[in-house]
Amino acid sequence: MKISRRALFASAAVLAAPGVLRAQPAPPPILFIHGNGDHAALWQTTLWRFESNGIPRDRLMAVNMPDPLSRDDDLVPQPNRSSTVEQTDRLTDFVADLRARTGAPRVALVGNSRGGNPIRDFVVHRGGAPQVSHAVLCGTPNRGTSDWPESRNREFNGKGPFLTRLNGGTTDVVPETDFLTIRSAWNDVYAQPRAIWSPTPDRPTGTDVDGPELRGATNLVLGELDHRETAYHWRAFREQFRFIVGREPGHIAVVPEARPVLDGIVTQSAPVVTNRPVPDAVVEVFRTDPETGARIGEALHRRTTGADGRWGPVTVASDWPLEIVVAAPGHTTTHIYRNAFPRSSDVVHLRPRALAAAERSAGGVVVLQRPRGYFGIPRDIVLLDGRQPATLRPGVAVAAAATVQLPAAELGRPVVGVFNTERIVARAWPAAEGRISVAELTW
């Protein structure tokens, strides 16, 4: 494995002469960019881990791309979707903002999936290298997800204009910036020789499991991690930290705070998913019983969002599971059940979840959702209401959610979700009232 020059220099910098201890240079501020259709909240546990290792919160910046979904045709405008040019323009502004805020001459960039595309474009093709010390791409489909002629102008087409330009040189990197890629050995749904993610799962894609690698970069393979875990798993955090900071992290687990403060924004999920704020949404926060999911007392917090969509802040304890209710105009009322937040976060972004047509006739619906990874069978233990969901199939991890429907007579009882060592308890609410429950896993 190629070792970053800056990592070597940083590791050696503590000793300038025998017996003389010198302070290690401060690492650069770090900007985190999410993937296609996602939002900054996915970096929540990663931010906590960096903070737990002494990186000040004001030097960590996880951003929302306003329209996170790519266009069907990158060259044709599409409502609530973004082009590659728009993504790189926004990243350019975010880098300028972080540098101005911290006074740092250079920053580090970490991107998951689509988030790696504007990083490459900015650093290598837009002259951004003097502003970027490190670039970490996690599960980015650098050789595309397919090369099909009918979708030639898609951002993720390996033979399309965008990736052809990015991949057209003799190397994929520039000497001024250290590049690291993190990929799965076989378990990334979007780096496969056949299109298992599509309605034609046996069709050849023109890429393979090594598609996220870059020529000239440090290319790291992390076993059976899935597409999102290459960014958000604790193993990925360790490699990000070592590469950027130049030493091993002292803590892999998150160090809790006594009284975390939570905040974020409500974002749009209907008619199209965006990260644009939703005004006039009513958000309530309740403490819940960890065994039953029942509310304990009155609401800890209640607020109607303004134009900025912000719903907090609220102060909680680091051992309180919570129910967060989001009633947003034009959206299904969503009851989000979360395990205790160990640390403060200002990226607790709330995206209401719609009721599917087939779910509206149920008494109640509970969704077990894993934002920072997928469910892998038999790699993972996944149970919802005492059973492994029938929709989860063995093989490459492809699903991040599973659903159970309850008859009306069973509303109000605990519904338990299990993902390996994480256990979360929710309650079903009447679907007839336009309500849905989401048991959102933290890890």
**What are the distances in angstroms from CA 117 to CA 63, 111, 141?**
15, 8, 8
The DSSP line for 175-210 is: TTSEEEEEE-SS--TTS-SB-TTSSSTTSB-S--TT
In this predicted structure, what is the pLDDT of residue 17? 37
- C-alpha to C-alpha distance for 45 and 50, rounded to whole angstroms: 9
Kindly give the pairing relationship between strand 364-369 and strand 435-440.
parallel
Structure tokens at 127: 């002259």
Mean pLDDT by 10 residues, the chain (443 residues): 39 35 76 98 98 97 97 97 98 98 98 98 97 98 98 97 97 97 98 97 98 98 98 98 98 97 95 95 98 98 98 98 97 97 98 90 96 98 97 96 96 96 97 97 98
Structure tokens at 144: 């595309």
- C-alpha to C-alpha distance for 336 and 86, rounded to whole angstroms: 32
Q: How far is CA 184 from the centre of its chain?
A: 16
Query: 0.75 cut: is pTM over it?
Result: yes
Instruction: Please name the residue that has the structure tokens 């160990």.
Output: 342
Instruction: Please name the residue that has the structure tokens 């900054």.
Output: 40
Instruction: Please name the residue that has the structure tokens 């045709």.
Output: 73
Largest CA distance in the chain: 75
Contact at 8 Å (CB) between 191 and 141?
Answer: yes
Q: Pick from 65, 122, 125: which is nearest to 96 by CA?
A: 122
In this predicted structure, what is the pLDDT of residue 24? 65
Q: Pick from 208, 240, 235, 213: which is nearest to 224 by CA?
A: 235
**What are the distances in angstroms from CA 156 to CA 61, 273, 319?**
26, 19, 42
Helix H or strand E encompassing 296 = strand 295-304
The DSSP line for 146-167 is: B--GGGTTSTTBTTSHHHHHHT
- C-alpha to C-alpha distance for 29 and 132, rounded to whole angstroms: 10
Question: Could you say which DSSP state residue 42 is in?
Answer: G
**What are the distances in angstroms from CA 97 to CA 31, 85, 239, 295, 409?**
10, 19, 26, 41, 53
The DSSP line for 213-248 is: --TTSEEEE-TT--TTHHHHSHHHHHHHHHHHHSS-
Kindly give the pairing relationship between strand 282-288 and strand 295-304.
antiparallel
In this predicted structure, what is the pLDDT of residue 26? 87
In this predicted structure, what is the pLDDT of residue 20? 40
Question: Could you say which DSSP state residue 78 is in?
Answer: -
Q: Pick from 147, 136, 61: which is nearest to 104 by CA?
A: 61
Q: Pick from 266, 249, 347, 342: which is nearest to 43 by CA?
A: 347
Cis amide bond preceding 271, omega within 30: yes
- C-alpha to C-alpha distance for 189 and 376, rounded to whole angstroms: 11
In this predicted structure, what is the pLDDT of residue 4? 43
Contact at 8 Å (CB) between 136 and 111?
Answer: yes
In this predicted structure, what is the pLDDT of residue 152? 96
Q: At what angle do helices 234-245 and 44-52 cross, to 10 degrees?
A: 50
Contact at 8 Å (CB) between 367 and 353?
Answer: yes
- Domains of the chain by range and CATH? 5-245 (3.40.50.1820), 256-354 (2.60.40.2190), 355-436 (no CATH)
Kindly give the pairing relationship between strand 422-427 and strand 414-419.
antiparallel
For the chain, the residue count is 443
- Measured from the Cβ of residue 411, the count of other Cβ atoms closer than 10 Å reads 15
Structure tokens at 149: 């002629």
Contact at 8 Å (CB) between 297 and 331?
Answer: no
